[in-house]
Amino acid sequence: MSRWRTASGGRIDRTRALAFRFDGVRYEGLAGDTLASALLANGVHLVGRSFKYHRPRGIVTAGAEEPSALVAVRRDGARETPNLRATQVELYEGLDALSQNRWPSLARDVGRINDWLSPLFPAGFYYKTFMWPKSAWKSVYEPVIRRAAGLGVAPTEPDPDRYAQCYAHCDVLVVGAGPAGLAAALAAADQGARVMICDEQSEFGGSLLADRHATIDGASAAAWVARAVADLAAHPRVVCLTRTTAFGYFPHNLIGLAERLTDHLDAPAPQAARERLWQVRARSVVLATGAVERPLVFPGNDRPGVMLAGAARTYLNRYGVRVGDRVVLVTATDAGYQAAIDLRDAGVAVVGIADLRPTVSGELPAAARAAGIEVTESATVLGTSGNRRVAGITIARTTSAGTGGDRRTLACDAVLMSGGFTPSVHLFSQSRGKLRWSDDHQAFLPDRSAERERSAGACRGATDLAAAIADGLEAGAESAPTRTAAARRITARSPRSADRGYLGAVPLASDASQKSFVDWQHDVTIKDLAIATREGFRSIEHVKRFTTMGMATDQGKTSNLNALAIVARAIDAPIPSVGLTTFRMPYTPTTFGAFAGPSRGDLFDPVRRTPIHAWAAAAGAVFEDVGMWKRARYFPERGEDMHAAVARECRAVRSACGLFDASTLGKIEVVGPGAAEFLERLYVNSWANLGVGRCRYGILCREDGFIYDDGVIARLAADRFHVTTTTGGAPRVLAMMEDYRQTEWPDLEVWLTSTTEQWAVIAVQGPDAREVLRGCVEGIDLDAAALPHMSVAAARICGIEGLVMRVSFSGELGYELNVPADHGLGVWKAVHAAGAAHGITCYGTETMHVLRAEKGYIIVGQDTDGTVTPDDAGLSWAVGRKKPDFVGRRSLQRQSMQAPDRKQLVGLRPRDGRTLLDEGAQVAERPDQRPPMRLVGHVTSSYQSAVLGVPIALAMVAGGRARLGQTLYIPMPGGDVEVEVVSPVFYDPKGERINA
């Protein structure tokens, strides 16, 4: 047992020694230790280097507010986590921790030079220099700054761990399981409420875990906590979550919790989730988040060994660790005395107590004096000594003349400080509750709530144990939905303490040569704050941004209020008028992986596959992502690249028959007496005159008159339309339809149903399509007269009831067979078999694109880009001229929509008959231009046409339809490509094939 470990007491398991390493050195701790307590038990105080000056730093606190002791913990190469607070890392067998921001070693860090040069690096120095020569910023200054900055090292391998997420609802969520939180949870549970209670620590109890003196309901604090926890655990309607941080408070009482599941285990199960993110919707929230002890701002206050008094007490009483052999207490609270007394009782020499207050009375100071500890009133600190650990402290008495009298240097190996308690109002403030400044408490306290929320205990100023518990009981009972049971009573007793505390720098600090730190992690000193105010940064937000005060990983939990007081004093303004920086989530840093949760790999976004997907994959198809869908892009045969495969597929469709999986097309069934009128108002086309059994190509515009989506719409019955959309457009078209149905035209009786996944759609296209289908389709006549182009009929398809739509996106005789999705694969196989004699060929989206481009059919989103009207796309024939209105009609009448130089869809052919144009390439009127060029359009689609044997392209060109026959130029890096403007319909302009 190390000499700093007490012989008995504490909550560690003295029978279970745990080996761990810090910077490669092997140490031993005990089960129940944190890394911080285990290091202190081994006499290790130097654990890190500060961000800017690389000063040696130790352990300041015992909790989540730790500004200083940041380490990396490594399990293996991919599981290294930087920037963890040693005060929160639970020890496990084999734990491997590393210090950060030092080179070559923690003890000898060359970055320390920054500290010696620190006069050159005051707050905001980088705004004033590094400007000459200009090029050096990127090549020299910034790389150097970046290397110096940062703290830990990010992992370089993908994180193999899993993260879980879940949702929960409860009547009362209690955040914090200290005395007030436990009381609130018990009181709410008494009333039958569904309660959730969470605490960031490994066990419930909060401050009580380190309290040797309090008695609650006649028992010790520890015994009462054990009983309360047992009561809650046994309660069927209570959920208890340890190691769970409430990190964010979102609108309508949605609280985000991050639960750490495996970081404390030496050998987590391989599939166990590392963390779990909870989204809890609570009817009421009780915030019992406690208070954080504040450091004192004095010269040399950052040496390892200088720590909060409450932390020293926690290390002693909870972990059985003495933080030193000879300690000095610097305090402005009575609570600090408790630490001194406890340490003295544990055999530590308390060399002296320096109290900033002019006169000190009360129970605890009296006890200290009675124990023979010397107390200096009206004290201040002039400096400390010691290199990698504090070795002495110089204190003095402030006199009325403002000078330090009775100057004395006390040798010591630890300095405890207690500057008062800052209520943790982070979550309250995140909830948009209003804070008010309390002169009595010298703190911001919760005032008006914005949500159904109630703060209880120390976080609203009730620091006395009995008051905190009473407040918690009241909050819990109040928050329960019903109050039926009698109110619970708990009696508590602990030594009374007066803890108004002290804000800002201690007297005479600004005269000292040593730095007085306000923000440990970011190395912000009182001088930096003085420079900021001198340079006119007076709003606390400006001070924060200029000095980076409070912007470190602790987000200023221990520093903000001191900084505020120092600035207020500097500009001679009351603290509330200087303002308070905004509290933002997360309360403490929260793992990215927990936010992402299971959303990774295939679960990142659901993959949508058609019923024919597996068949296509087996046939060797290459897929592309379209929206969430995987679509077969082409079906290469042996040795074929995409170009060869597509050429073969194209020829097959043009000469015989092709088979295409169109199941991804969006499908919406529009049904009801108002269905025709609904489409009439929404789409640009006329629908009233569309006969049952007929189809029509529909165009949907946005209100701005630009094409939003398109697709064939079939009228299945007078009151029933089968609307198809683009593959990617289905969700937004349905959303737009619902928007109009619900908000614009609630008078129409119409119902919308997404049927995209109900139907498998199998396109059979090509001159032999009819012959192929003759053996597959029963119950209808496939002849052109009976089932002409753009018609639809119910039929039995390979024995399955479905719809045959005679439509074509290829320009050939074509059918689209709609069958229930479950039968899609069977029908596909049957048609494929039936077509074998005709040389039926499967084709993918790439061939589909070539075929439609040969016909001049647009793809919304490729040939259009949200700035294209129906007329621009050559589709004005589709617009119902006689309709009184449709979405976008008014916009289409605007002046610029009539302009003759609008970009219009045209075809382009390279003059050389060879050059395949780049999609996205620009179009110019004049050749040989240099940037900035005058441009008249761009290429939207470009393919090698197998049937024509030449490259073809579609383009949007200003005034394009008036340019047919003109020569235009495609400026490419290697020179211009000459093109001829032609009709966008390259193949079968009369449409004889489609109507065959």
Partner 1 sequence: MSKQRFSALSLLRRSLGGHRSWEPQWRKSEPKPAYDVVIVGGGGHGLGAAYYLAAEHRVGRIAVVEKGWIGGGNTGRNTTIIRSNYLFAESAALYDHSVKLWEDLSQVLNYNVMFSQRGVMMLAHTVHDVQVFKRHVHANRCSGVDNEWLTPEEAKAFCPPLNIDPDIRYPVLGAALQRRGGTARHDAVAWGYARAASELGVDIIENCEVTGIRRDAQGRVEGLETTRGSIRAGKVGVSAAGNTSAVLSLAGVRLPLESYPLQALVSEPVKPVFPCVAMSNTIHAYISQSDKGDLVIGAGTDAYTSYTQRGALHINMHTLDAICELFPMFRRLRMMRNWGGIVDVTPDRSPIIAKTPVPGLYVNCGWGTGGFKATPGSAHLFAWTIANDAPHPINAPFTIERFRDGHLIDEAAAAAVAH
Cα-only R_g, the chain:
38
In the shown chain, the binding pattern of residues 856 to 875 toward partner 1, with x for contact by CB under 8 A and - for none, equals ---xxxx-xxxx--------
**Which among 29-37, 158-166, 348-356, 644-652 is the span making contact with partner 1, rule CB under 8 A?**
158-166
Considering the rule CB under 8 A, would residue 434 count as an interface residue with partner 1? no
Q: How far apart are CA 633 and CA 645, in angstroms?
A: 10
Q: Which residue reads 């719809």 in tokens?
A: 803
Q: How far apart are CA 312 and CA 854, in angstroms?
A: 81
**Which among 209-217, 226-234, 409-417, 888-896 is the span making contact with partner 1, rule CB under 8 A?**
888-896
Q: Which of 587, 553, 414 is nearest to 70 (CA)?
A: 553
For the CA atoms of 141, 147, 148, 152, what is the dihedral angle to 10 degrees?
160
Select 542 or 609, whichever has its Cβ closest to partner 1.
542
User: Shortest gap between Cβ of 499 and partner 1 (angstroms)?
Assistant: 29
Select 63 or 472, whichever has its Cβ closest to partner 1.
63
Q: Two tokens at 605? A: 């976004």
Near partner 1 by CB under 8 A: residue from 21, 93, 96, 155? 155
Query: Which of positions 941-980 make contact with partner 1 (CB under 8 A)?
Result: 971, 973
Which amino acid appears at position 169 of this protein?
Answer: H
For the CA atoms of 505, 509, 511, 516, what is the dihedral angle to 10 degrees?
-90
| Strand 800-806 versus strand 238-241 pairing type | unpaired
Give the H or E element holding residue 981: strand 975-982
Cross-strand partners of 70: 85
278 neighbors 166 (Cβ within 8 angstroms): yes
**Cβ atoms within 10 Å, residue 491:** 11
Q: Two tokens at 649? A: 């597929």
Considering the rule CB under 8 A, would residue 900 count as an interface residue with partner 1? no
**Which among 14-22, 186-194, 286-294, 584-592 is the span making contact with partner 1, rule CB under 8 A?**
584-592
Near partner 1 by CB under 8 A: residue from 290, 457, 472, 728? 728
762 neighbors 817 (Cβ within 8 angstroms): yes
Near partner 1 by CB under 8 A: residue from 215, 891, 944, 995? 891
| Strand 841-843 versus strand 658-661 pairing type | parallel
Select 6 or 430, whichever has its Cβ closest to partner 1.
430
Near partner 1 by CB under 8 A: residue from 192, 589, 620, 820? 589
Select 280 or 800, whichever has its Cβ closest to partner 1.
280
Query: Which of positions 40-69 make contact with partner 1 (CB under 8 A)?
Result: 51
Considering the rule CB under 8 A, would residue 593 count as an interface residue with partner 1? yes
Considering the rule CB under 8 A, would residue 627 count as an interface residue with partner 1? yes
Collapse the DSSP code of 963 into the 3-class scheme (helix H, G, I; strand E, B; otherwise coil) and give the result.
Answer: helix
**Which among 27-35, 244-252, 357-365, 750-758 is the span making contact with partner 1, rule CB under 8 A?**
244-252
Query: Which of positions 100-119 make contact with partner 1 (CB under 8 A)?
Result: 119
Near partner 1 by CB under 8 A: residue from 726, 756, 810, 847? 726
Q: How far apart are CA 867 and CA 708, in angstroms?
A: 10
| Strand 326-331 versus strand 349-355 pairing type | parallel
**Which among 345-353, 386-394, 724-732, 739-747 is the span making contact with partner 1, rule CB under 8 A?**
724-732
User: Shortest gap between Cβ of 306 and partner 1 (angstroms)?
Assistant: 24
Select 248 or 835, whichever has its Cβ closest to partner 1.
248
Considering the rule CB under 8 A, would residue 933 count as an interface residue with partner 1? yes
24 neighbors 72 (Cβ within 8 angstroms): no
**Which among 59-67, 604-612, 738-746, 776-784 is the span making contact with partner 1, rule CB under 8 A?**
604-612
Considering the rule CB under 8 A, would residue 555 count as an interface residue with partner 1? yes
Considering the rule CB under 8 A, would residue 150 count as an interface residue with partner 1? yes
Q: How far apart are CA 888 and CA 681, in angstroms?
A: 10
157 neighbors 180 (Cβ within 8 angstroms): no
Q: Which of 611, 330, 356, 381 is nearest to 514 (CA)?
A: 381
Query: Which of positions 789-828 make contact with partner 1 (CB under 8 A)?
Result: none
Query: Which of positions 124-143 make contact with partner 1 (CB under 8 A)?
Result: 125-132, 134, 137-138, 142-143
Q: How far apart are CA 327 and CA 907, in angstroms?
A: 87
Considering the rule CB under 8 A, would residue 273 count as an interface residue with partner 1? no
Near partner 1 by CB under 8 A: residue from 96, 377, 447, 535? 535
User: Shortest gap between Cβ of 135 and partner 1 (angstroms)?
Assistant: 10
Select 224 or 708, whichever has its Cβ closest to partner 1.
708
Near partner 1 by CB under 8 A: residue from 192, 220, 250, 883? 250
User: Shortest gap between Cβ of 228 and partner 1 (angstroms)?
Assistant: 31
What one-character-per-residue DSSP string does 201-266 give? Answer: SSSTTGGGGG-SS-EETTEEHHHHHHHHHHHHHH-TTEEEESSEEEEEEETTTEEEEEEE-STT-S
Near partner 1 by CB under 8 A: residue from 320, 705, 844, 951? 705
User: Shortest gap between Cβ of 33 and partner 1 (angstroms)?
Assistant: 23
Q: How far apart are CA 968 and CA 964, in angstroms?
A: 10
Q: How far apart are CA 580 and CA 577, in angstroms?
A: 9
User: Shortest gap between Cβ of 632 and partner 1 (angstroms)?
Assistant: 13
Considering the rule CB under 8 A, would residue 641 count as an interface residue with partner 1? no
Near partner 1 by CB under 8 A: residue from 25, 154, 269, 785? 154
Considering the rule CB under 8 A, would residue 145 count as an interface residue with partner 1? yes
Select 407 or 432, whichever has its Cβ closest to partner 1.
432
Residues recorded for the chain: 996
Query: Which of positions 275-294 make contact with partner 1 (CB under 8 A)?
Result: 277, 279
Give the H or E element holding residue 970: strand 967-972
Near partner 1 by CB under 8 A: residue from 602, 747, 783, 992? 602
Cα three-residue angle 377-380-383, rounded to 5 degrees? 145
Considering the rule CB under 8 A, would residue 256 count as an interface residue with partner 1? yes
Near partner 1 by CB under 8 A: residue from 548, 663, 686, 756? 548
Considering the rule CB under 8 A, would residue 576 count as an interface residue with partner 1? no
Q: How far apart are CA 229 and CA 214, in angstroms?
A: 17
Query: Which of positions 906-925 make contact with partner 1 (CB under 8 A)?
Result: 918-922, 924
Q: DSSP state, 608?
A: B
Query: Which of positions 374-433 make contact with partner 1 (CB under 8 A)?
Result: 432
Near partner 1 by CB under 8 A: residue from 436, 452, 600, 774? 600
- Total binding residues for partner 1 by CB under 8 A? 124
User: Shortest gap between Cβ of 171 and partner 1 (angstroms)?
Assistant: 21
User: Shortest gap between Cβ of 831 and partner 1 (angstroms)?
Assistant: 26
Q: How far apart are CA 4 and CA 40, in angstroms?
A: 8
Neighbour-count burial of 475, counting CB atoms closer than 10 A to its CB (0-12 exposed, 13-18 middle, 19+ buried) = buried
Near partner 1 by CB under 8 A: residue from 539, 655, 758, 944? 539
Considering the rule CB under 8 A, would residue 153 count as an interface residue with partner 1? yes
Give the H or E element holding residue 27: strand 25-31
User: Shortest gap between Cβ of 195 and partner 1 (angstroms)?
Assistant: 22
Orientation of helix 560-570 relative to helix 526-534, angle to 10°? 50
Q: Which of 587, 550, 251, 256 is nearest to 426 (CA)?
A: 587
Q: Two tokens at 223? A: 């015994």
Near partner 1 by CB under 8 A: residue from 573, 607, 735, 948? 607
Considering the rule CB under 8 A, would residue 624 count as an interface residue with partner 1? yes
**Which among 26-34, 56-64, 618-626, 975-983 is the span making contact with partner 1, rule CB under 8 A?**
618-626
Query: Which of positions 186-225 make contact with partner 1 (CB under 8 A)?
Result: none
What one-character-per-residue DSSP string does 671-715 give? Answer: ESTTHHHHHHHHBSS--TTPPTTBEEEEEEE-TTS-EEEEEEEEE
611 neighbors 292 (Cβ within 8 angstroms): no
